[in-house]
A and B are shown apart, each in its own frame.
Chain A
Amino acid sequence: MSTFSRRRLLGWTGAGAAAAGIGAVAGCAAPAATAPAQLVVPFRGEHQAGIVTPAQDRLHFVALDVLTDDPEKLKALLQRWTAAAERMTAGAETTPGGATGGNPNSPPDDTGEALGLPAASLTLTFGVGASLFAKLGLDPSLVPAGLADLPPFAGDQLDPTLSGGDLCIQACSDDPQVAVHAVRNLVRMGFGTTAVRWSQLGFGRTSSTSTTQETHRNLFGFKDGTNNLKAEDPDGLRDQVWVSPDQGPAWLAGGSYLVARRIRMHIEIWDRTSLVEQEVIIGRTKDRGAPIGAAAEFDPADFAAVDETGAPRIAVDAHIRLASAEALGGVKILRRGYNFVDGSDGQGHLNAGLFFIAFMNDPQAQFVPMQRALATSDVLMEYIEHTGSAVFACPAGLGEGSYWGQSLFEA
């Protein structure tokens, strides 16, 4: 059993999985030649996987604190992480034979709960936070402007134990056990060098990042992410998502910023709100997700239209109007959020909401004006609270032989 790998199992299960339509990789990178590999998202490429990769259904996101002030120690960990991450995204154990093939008197290298599971479109996306630079004594000129603190927004109830972090790893997969396995093993490898600051599990992607995907619904029951930037829009991605060489330090060129916000939803209150009020607040119909006054989900929203009384048909404070590129001078972001339910809150209410993740090339110019408009005007704010917040810089994708953070550590 020493070479047991999840990848080998794909030979037996891949065809059925492909027939079931799971996890196509269109738009991520060149499709692999064989059918079983369709569940494997390439780990290396021009950009990191897990950004424009068609959003998988499950998330395990972790923010970590770095415990060392020695860049060499972190570098060594990042090299080990990269090797393990590449193997896991291919459906293998962290090391060859790692789960059961080692010395029986040693704890196994790999924790084993993903044995027998396919790669399940696992992507692992790596980012660094602003706090990392001072901690490691890195040259301050390497700190990208986009990592500046987000300003406070009206209504924020941020919990420091759900915010910030020196590093982040976003694990997305079709199978929650595969995502959890990946994060658990990377965290374990990091003990002594990194420690978990906070983490979040998510399910039910609330965005589509590819035109090949249906738009899913958030826990308020509305289609979410209809007008999201999509993998099939290279110009939009270039203008809004990928950091260009003139936008920051060279080490981040081709990368992106990840903004994470944990948004608690007051589900029970929302559920007592009439359908018409829900639709007015969002600006879309609940059944098809069409803009108010339009027929189909992808019909353009007519923000100029007025009803018979002369009032705007889509309310001036409707969520889709406030968040629209039209209202924000053309600004868009690539959303990649997930629903979460962390059980109940002790008062009998769901501790649930939306774990918002978005990628962009300038958080101050993109996320900040959007969130400021929403925080001050959006009626939806009566039903939600932002409880966690973090910004990370995610470098470009890896070429052969390179490791996470190499462009920064060898800058």
Chain B
Amino acid sequence: MSRRTPAAVGLAVLGLAMAGCTSTAPVDTGAGGPITVAAADDACDVSTAEAPAGTISFDITNGGSKVTEFYLYATGGRIMGEVENIGPGLSRQLIVEVPEGGAYETVCKPGMVGDGIRSAFTVTGSAERSVDTDTRLAEATAGYARYVNSQVEALVPKTQEFVDAVKAGDVEGAKALYPVARTYWERIEPVAESFGDIDPRIDGRDDGEPGVEFTGFHRLERDLWQDGLQPDSSSIADRLMADITELAGRVPSVELTPLALANGAKELLDEVATGKITGEEDRYSHTDLWDFRANIDGSQGAIAALRPVIDERDPELGPLLDERFAAVDALLENYRDGDGFVLYTALTPDDVKAMTEAVDALGEPVSQVAGVVSS
């Protein structure tokens, strides 16, 4: 949760829709027909490793036992398109515009964690067109809009699972789902925070301020880990679901600008530095490292969308960002525990210092991005 007033948040709420960005919209499948992807717990078989530039369509079938995700990445981890939360036995379609030929990567992420199963994917260059800066900036915001949509698409059902577990009195199940549902929230936190009325209801913390009702994720966190389920836990859970549903309905109205993306990427790191490294955010569950990971993902998502603009204007900044993001990723991997992370309480002061150093190192170049894209 941000301590800033809504007016200071970089993403202004305007009535402009992120039209046409939904990754699963049923549209013309483009030349050559759909490419099939057979996803399993240990495989990601893409029927071809090459396609002509233009609209490319993937049909993904999850034959495995874990929920999976499918991505098409460009240089620098820029997400061209993705489908999240594909349950076992389900099929989903990804349709993606790839205007430029070059080297890409297809990725399945069984269990929705880690680097996933990656394969090279070549786009041949016939549809290459000259892209001016304005077009690149427009593509950047459209690409980030796709990312936000994909997160919201997963946030809604995961929150529902969490809420259902709370209402069923399944404390252990709810505890397991809490950091998973929050992952999708934390990845798009600056967008969510742009709704100054919803954010405190969903992600507010109990600061003991009189007259402020304590609801949302952290209220349920307190019930699950500290106080035990309360008579009103079910209604708090219902309210959370209603707030998340309202958020999902309002997200398409967010106007995304390149500057807002850049500032959002920085704000996510600020969140890490002030809330997660300190163990302040998840004070009852101590699942702060899940949120840490998700904030970094979100920051990386915004930066990746801007990457073509960054590369055009400051060729040294992109590789530096890659290096610093990679250093944070490598550090966090040391604290993996199964599909998640160790608890904050397991960290030593040296661990926290190493994380602070890595986030400081990343924060400096990320803070330069707004100036680069607005110059």
Residues in A lying within 8 Å of B, measured CB to CB: 67, 102-103, 105-107, 188, 191-193, 195
Contacts and interface: CB of A to CB of B under 8 A. Distances in A.
A191 B374 contact: no
A102 B371 contact: yes
A107 B367 contact: yes
A102 B375 CA distance: 10
Given A67-B357, A192-B324, A195-B357, A106 B364 contact: no
A321 B262 CA distance: 64
B364 A188 contact: yes
B100 to A, nearest CB: 27
Contacts of B372: 106
A191 B262 CA distance: 20
Nearest to A196: B357
A188 B368 CA distance: 13
A353 to B, nearest CB: 23
Contacts of B374: 103, 105
B342 to A, nearest CB: 22
Contacts of B362: 192
Nearest to B324: A192
Contact of A106 (B324, B353, B357, B368): B368
Given A67-B357, A105-B370, A106-B370, A191 B363 contact: yes
A304 to B, nearest CB: 53
Contacts of B324: 192
A346 B327 CA distance: 37
Contacts of A105: 259, 262, 370-371, 374-375
Contacts of B353: 195
Contact of A191 (B259, B364, B370, B375): B364
A176 B35 CA distance: 66
Given A105-B374, A191-B363, 12 more contacts: A103-B374, A106-B367, A106-B368, A106-B370, A188-B364, A191-B361, A192-B324, A192-B327, A192-B361, A192-B362, A193-B361, A195-B353
Contacts of A103: 371, 374-375
Contact of B364 (A102, A192, A195): A192
B301 to A, nearest CB: 20
Interface in B243-266: 259, 262
Interface of B: 259, 262, 324, 327, 353, 357, 360-365, 367-368, 370-372, 374-375
14 contacts: A102-B371, A103-B371, A105-B259, A105-B370, A105-B374, A105-B375, A107-B371, A188-B364, A191-B360, A191-B363, A192-B327, A192-B362, A192-B365, A195-B361
Contacts of A106: 367-368, 370-372
Nearest to A192: B361
Closest 5 A/B residue pairs (Cβ): A106-B371, A192-B361, A103-B371, A105-B374, A195-B357
A66 to B, nearest CB: 11
Nearest to A107: B367
A193 B374 CA distance: 27
Contacts of B371: 102-103, 105-107
Nearest to B360: A191
Contacts of B375: 103, 105
B64 to A, nearest CB: 39
A370 B264 CA distance: 57
Contacts of B259: 105
Nearest to B375: A103
Contacts of B262: 105
- Most A CB contacts (10 A, CB to CB) among B259, B262, B353 go to B353
A316 B363 CA distance: 57
B143 to A, nearest CB: 20
A380 B327 CA distance: 48
A102 B371 CA distance: 9
A191 B361 CA distance: 5
Contacts of B361: 67, 191-193, 195
Nearest to B357: A195
A105 B367 CA distance: 9
Contacts of A102: 371
Contacts of A67: 357, 361
Nearest to A102: B371
Contacts of B327: 192
A42 B262 CA distance: 41
A67 B371 CA distance: 27
Contacts of B365: 192
A191 B327 CA distance: 13
B230 to A, nearest CB: 37
B367 to A, nearest CB: 5
A193 B360 CA distance: 10
A106 B263 CA distance: 10
A188 B360 CA distance: 9
A381 B160 CA distance: 66
A193 B372 CA distance: 22
A305 B371 CA distance: 72
